Structure 1
Amino acid sequence: MTSDINREFIDHASALRAAEEGVAKLAAGRNDRWYPKFHIASDGGWINDPNGLCYYKGRWHVFYQLHPFGTQWGPMHWGHVSSDDMITWRREPIALAPSLNVERDGVFSGSAVEGDDGRLWLFYTGHRWQEGPNGEQENLEVQCAAVSDDGVHFEKLGVIIDNPDRLFHFRDPKVWKQDGRWYMVFGMSTPDKRGQILLYSSENMRAWHYERLLFRHPNPGVYMLECPDFFPLSDPNGNLRWVLCFSAMGEHPNGFSNRNLHNAGYVIGTWEPGERFQPQTEFRMWDWGHNYYAPQSFEAPDGRRIQYAWMSPFIPPHPMQEDGWCGQLTLPREVTLDHYGCIRTNPVEETTALRCGTTDFGSFVLDVNENRVLCDDIDAAEIEMEIDVSETTAERAGLKIHSTDDNAHTCVYYDDQTHRVVLDRHAAALGNRGYRAAPFTSHHLKLQVFVDRSSVEVFINDGEQAMSSYSTPSPGKRAIELNAESGTLAIQSLRIHRLRSIGLDR
């Protein structure tokens, strides 16, 4: 690497101070009417992808993409929070800011691992703009690293993988160790705009060598595979499979699938070091909601595979932008492989510690076209509900959340005609609308619904499917209601838990 590539255009400490001041200025005027109570968000500014998920020196660490000077996407930094229980979080200093020539326009996404030296290593993409052949602005990206002795303050090491062919998309390194060797995957776009994932390896984490093309997306319309993740899972019988995750840019809607601007999913297959990944399934979506992108995972000390994603506000309007912030992460989810070789995602067990009061409604039948108020005002709740589909005659039945006096609301309901769970924002007060529909396979429906001040996450039949969407309510009381349309609704059990703050709101 030439010295010019790693030369600073600004002192990193000065860049970090400026970023902290930018966030503080936005936070000072922040309106908390929709600010999340139990999801990770920045104190102020725009956030997107989760980065650097890890457990280091007794604490859980979550880093995230941050624009500290505004509520629109902009030059990326790495924000940071940490926790000793994965439930109550504290804000840490901003970890990375653009300071080297090679990253002058953004410190893009990446990952974190504890190195052989006991230090915390961050791997990330350095981003800068270049002028294309027609005068347009194009990406120029390389992979970089930084290290820390305390998990909070980082020293940059500069470029570890260059981009000599000046490929337009070349980013988002995910690093892990296996059989005594370090591996890295990241996404790229070929000159003919095909999305691929590359595999590199290293013995010392500094010198990296190209291994092979790991995966090429079969759809020629998919031009980039962002934020790849690659990890093994075993089913209850001990059968090992590899899960290759990516966020596909350029995929088109297909029925109920791929309805978002960009869509995050995975394929399951087999892999051995030195070999190409062999898919055994089709592309499957991680989440069927409106706002789920760039998921990343890590292995917890107890062996669990834990995943966070960005609740992506790709489609405007974004009402929270006028409030000094924009974007949040999902709840942490445990990823498992079931007896059928299918992925399940559920909230981590630690989320039960958020509960601070429970109302148990027992079992009952809701009459034809009946609407029942379950809670007249609540800003943070977990709803556990089981529906006997075989005894339910309603065409549509389920929950209205964020229901306000002006009749604005978001619906989470069972649709008998499609045999799907539907998250419908047609009556939402603000923001983008539309609906999403997720399949389920049985005649028993178990829903676990998390309602925050401006979002909803739905887990279906113990993690068989999930749905995550923003839901922006009107001013005033926010009720939770139960409704049955053109028939009855047979409830086997229903409980509502009030949820406490994770410590990041005010």
Structure 2
Amino acid sequence: MAETLDPCFPALHRVHPRGWLNDPNGILRTADGRWHVFFQHNPRSARHEHICWGHMSSPDLVTWREEPMGPSPRPGEADQDGCWSGVGLLDAAADTAAYTAGVPTLVYSGVDGVENQLARVLVARLDPAGTELIAPGTVAADIPEIPGLIGVRDPFVLEHGGRRWGIQGAGIREAGGFVPVLLLYTCDDLERWEYVGELLRGDDPVAAEHAPADLWECPQLVPVDGRWVLLLSLWRHPERSGRSTVQVNHLVGDLALDDGGIPRFVPTGGGRVDLGPDFYAPQAVLDRDRVLLWGWSWEGLERSQEQTDVQGWAGALTFPRELRLDGGTLLSRVPAELTALRKELLELPAGNVLDLRTPARVEVRTRGRVQVEIHAADGTATEVLAADDGPATVFLDGSLLELLPDGAPPCTVRLYPGAGDLVRVRGDLEGAWALERPDVRS
């Protein structure tokens, strides 16, 4: 992809140079080891409308290429107003001779434009390479008949107790207000989901403390270091909050089977997944001996819709992160693959002050304290980040900043330097590298 002249464009994070981008979706690794990452996408404009699934792939998490689109709205179908969030997996239950490791499958929310808070679960199939959509979405689960249901969406699939289960985020209006819930389904046959009850309710004392919301979005339930970790994107009605999409929290707990063999999630603690203001709707993916996490970084609140329309693009995915637990704290570390982005080692000036011309694309390793500022040509300075969480890695890519401390949750922030501005990084710096995506594509 040719380098854009826009100093804010996160060129290392985005393959598509135009259009709207939000939630990472349908992430899977095919039999040949290639990663396929889908995401909410509107190629027509920098606005959230006409949502389909964009698609990119990589052999190494570093070099990416654009692939054919995934699911797209279809007139007269359950997804006619948008193909919203969901997951990807290799479905061994649908295996045939043409597929050696399971059928690459996408499970997503379809909205019809009538009541988009209430989504149906759709299942679509890809070719063996995971590249082409060969079977469009069919309805696997209709809207459940639950009194007071205000919303349901964002299917996730997991295996436990020898069976395959599906969950959806939801919210219910009850006498005392709104209660977020996770709806539970059996889905041994991915194209036939059967509702069996609730995996977790928001009035559970631990959930109420650590994940308060009107509705839980984008639930992700994965094993990390011997425990189950539940990621929840917190949604509130816009009239009850500054913005409906608030932040992402996690719960740590256990999956217990009841007398009927139905799992229930029992949380014991929780906290924030990312401490920054610009991180939402992450997707967690099991990869052999690790769990990788991608998130959506939206445009910052200081960016107007008019500015976003002019730039012609909106949103980016974070770099993948490896999840780990330290007690009840969920931490993220940098995957080893990302070192391939390093182009050259930068010299650290005296005083540990690194001034970077825009667009800045660097990795900085700190021993502790770090501060990031934008210095304009008129001499004014705007602080973007100040942290002192011990050793950490900082990634800067145009308007996207990711801080990953070794011993604290990460922090994702958007910043908007203008042409000619400097981005200053200072503190207890250990090393810095200019970053560039390798030219080799496969």
Report if the CA contact (8 A) 2:236-2:244 is conserved.
Answer: no
Query: How far apart are residue 129 of structure 1 and its match?
Result: 2.6
Which of these residues, 78, 89, 92, is aligned with residue 102 of structure 1?
Answer: 78
AA aligned opposite 1:160:
A
State whether structure 2 residue 200 is matched by structure 1 residue 200.
no
Query: How far apart are residue 482 of structure 1 and its match?
Result: 2.6
Query: How far apart are residue 375 of structure 1 and its match?
Result: 3.3
1:503 & 1:175 partners in 2: Cα distance? 35
What is the TM-score normalised by the length of structure 1? 0.74
Q: 1:164-198: CA deviations, max 9, x gaps?
A: 53844111011123454221111112244321111
What are the residue-to-residue correspondences of 1:366-381 with 2, within 5 Å?
366=351, 373-377=353-357, 379-381=360-362
Query: How far apart are residue 201 of structure 1 and its match?
Result: 1.4
Which ranges of structure 1 fall in alignment gaps of 5 or more residues? 1-26, 131-136, 235-239, 253-257, 367-371, 388-396, 415-420, 422-439, 484-490
Flag the structure with higher strand content: 2
Q: 1:236-259: CA deviations, max 9, x gaps?
A: xxxx2111111011299xxxxx99
State whether structure 2 residue 179 is matched by structure 1 residue 243.
no
Q: 1:384-430: CA deviations, max 9, x gaps?
A: 1113xxxxxxxxx743344332334444334xxxxxx4xxxxxxxxx
1:468 & 1:502 partners in 2: Cα distance? 24
Alignment match, 1:222: 213
2:256 & 2:376 partners in 1: Cα distance? 54
Query: How far apart are residue 33 of structure 1 and its match?
Result: 2.7
What are the residue-to-residue correspondences of 1:28-47 with 2, within 5 Å?
32-40=6-14, 42-47=16-21
- Could you say if the C-alpha distance between residues 210 and 480 of structure 1 is closer, same or farther in structure 2, counting changes exceeding 3 Å? same
Which of these residues, 241, 260, 264, is aligned with residue 248 of structure 2?
Answer: 264
Alignment match, 2:99: none
Alignment match, 2:27: 53
2:212 & 2:65 partners in 1: Cα distance? 42
Alignment match, 1:296: 283
Alignment match, 2:426: 482
2:56 & 2:403 partners in 1: Cα distance? 25
2:219 & 2:201 partners in 1: Cα distance? 12
AA aligned opposite 2:194:
H
2:237 & 2:424 partners in 1: Cα distance? 35
- Could you say if the C-alpha distance between residues 147 and 463 of structure 1 is closer, same or farther in structure 2, counting changes exceeding 3 Å? farther
Query: How far apart are residue 29 of structure 1 and its match?
Result: 13
Q: Per the alignment, in what secondary structure is the counterpart of residue 242 of structure 1?
A: strand
AA aligned opposite 2:282:
P
- Could you say if the C-alpha distance between residues 466 and 481 of structure 1 is closer, same or farther in structure 2, counting changes exceeding 3 Å? closer
Alignment match, 1:18: none
Alignment match, 2:107: 123
Instruction: Give the count of matched residue pairs.
Output: 406
Which of these residues, 393, 404, 417, is aligned with residue 473 of structure 1?
Answer: 417
Q: Per the alignment, in what secondary structure is the counterpart of residue 350 of structure 1?
A: helix
Query: How far apart are residue 271 of structure 1 and its match?
Result: 0.6
Report if the CA contact (8 A) 2:371-2:426 is conserved.
Answer: yes
State whether structure 2 residue 325 is matched by structure 1 residue 337.
yes
Report if the CA contact (8 A) 1:360-1:494 is conserved.
Answer: no
1:241 & 1:335 partners in 2: Cα distance? 12
Report if the CA contact (8 A) 2:300-2:414 is conserved.
Answer: no
* Identity, % of aligned positions: 28
Report if the CA contact (8 A) 2:300-2:415 is conserved.
Answer: no
What are the residue-to-residue correspondences of 1:300-311 with 2, within 5 Å?
300=287, 302-311=288-297
Alignment match, 2:164: 182
Query: How far apart are residue 35 of structure 1 and its match?
Result: 1.3
2:21 & 2:323 partners in 1: Cα distance? 24
Which of these residues, 130, 133, 148, is aligned with residue 151 of structure 1?
Answer: 130
What is the TM-score normalised by the length of structure 2? 0.84
Report if the CA contact (8 A) 2:269-2:328 is conserved.
Answer: no
Report if the CA contact (8 A) 1:29-1:324 is conserved.
Answer: no
AA aligned opposite 1:44:
R
AA aligned opposite 1:82:
S
What are the residue-to-residue correspondences of 1:58-137 with 2, within 5 Å?
58-99=33-74, 100-116=76-92, 117=95, 118-130=102-114
2:384 & 2:330 partners in 1: Cα distance? 26
State whether structure 2 residue 369 is matched by structure 1 residue 412.
no
Report if the CA contact (8 A) 2:375-2:422 is conserved.
Answer: yes
What are the residue-to-residue correspondences of 1:421-436 with 2, within 5 Å?
421=388
AA aligned opposite 1:225:
W
1:479 & 1:469 partners in 2: Cα distance? 14
Query: How far apart are residue 53 of structure 1 and its match?
Result: 1.1
Report if the CA contact (8 A) 2:340-2:438 is conserved.
Answer: no
- Could you say if the C-alpha distance between residues 269 and 259 of structure 1 is closer, same or farther in structure 2, counting changes exceeding 3 Å? farther
- Could you say if the C-alpha distance between residues 60 and 413 of structure 1 is closer, same or farther in structure 2, counting changes exceeding 3 Å? same
Cα RMSD (Å) of the superposition? 2.8
Report if the CA contact (8 A) 1:78-1:107 is conserved.
Answer: yes
Which of these residues, 129, 133, 141, is aligned with residue 119 of structure 2?
Answer: 141
Q: 1:120-160: CA deviations, max 9, x gaps?
A: 11000110232xxxxxx663311000011231222124100
Q: 1:2-51: CA deviations, max 9, x gaps?
A: xxxxxxxxxxxxxxxxxxxxxxxxx9997533211211353311011000
Q: 1:439-471: CA deviations, max 9, x gaps?
A: x4xxxx2131111111111112x1522110110
Query: How far apart are residue 215 of structure 1 and its match?
Result: 1.1
The structure with more radius of gyration: 1
Query: How far apart are residue 494 of structure 1 and its match?
Result: 2.1
AA aligned opposite 2:263:
E
2:289 & 2:212 partners in 1: Cα distance? 37
Report if the CA contact (8 A) 1:113-1:176 is conserved.
Answer: no
Report if the CA contact (8 A) 1:404-1:475 is conserved.
Answer: no
Q: 1:52-98: CA deviations, max 9, x gaps?
A: 11111320111000112211111210000000001100000111110
- Could you say if the C-alpha distance between residues 481 and 312 of structure 1 is closer, same or farther in structure 2, counting changes exceeding 3 Å? closer
Alignment match, 2:98: none
AA aligned opposite 1:383:
V
- Bigger mean CA offset, 160-169 vs 328-337: 160-169
1:164 & 1:477 partners in 2: Cα distance? 53
